[in-house]
Structure 1
């Protein structure tokens, strides 16, 4: 099954949380920070959103930073993805 986002929506997959710190300390599950970097899997067409014309600036394959706890989590073929508005994407990682 594939997801085709509508309007200004973007489908992203979050990167895995760090298991260890830079100094090598292994983190417990509750101590891991929720990741904010994700990979763009699909992009909607943009268009008219709330009376304003929206052009999509991200593309499939981009690494992006999103707002914490934004979007709607969906399970597709056993894989967790998140559908967010383009406005919830803060930056593109280069």
Structure 2
């Protein structure tokens, strides 16, 4: 049975992008290089409700590529994906 995570309010579900370990020509890249911590937006919550009943929408949409903070968010493992 497949599980699906649906974010609530202004939460965003992001799948981390793993950079390739070697180039297309076969050169191995060391893991100690400075890598950008980026990910692809998989799901977006509806937004955050304010006191007058309106909902402030989230500024990103599914499919966007975003930069992630080094220490932030909550890691979730679903099957073999993190």
| Fold agreement, TM-score > 0.5 | yes
In structure 2, the gaps of 5 or more residues are none
Larger-Rg structure: 2
Seen in structure 2, the aligned counterparts of structure 1 residues 54 and 19 have a Cα distance that, compared at 3 Å, is: same
For these two proteins, the number of residue pairs brought into alignment is 74
In structure 1, which of residues 20, 23, 27 is the aligned counterpart of residue 30 of structure 2? 27
TM-score by length of 1: 0.63
CA–CA distance in 2 between the matches of 1:59 and 1:16?
A: 20
TM score, norm. by length of structure 2: 0.71
Q: What is the alpha-carbon root mean square deviation over aligned residues?
A: 2.5
* More strand by percentage: 1
Among 2, 5, 12, the alignment partner of 2:4 is 2
| Structure with greater proportional helix content | 1
Which blocks of at least 5 consecutive residues in structure 1 are unaligned?
81-94
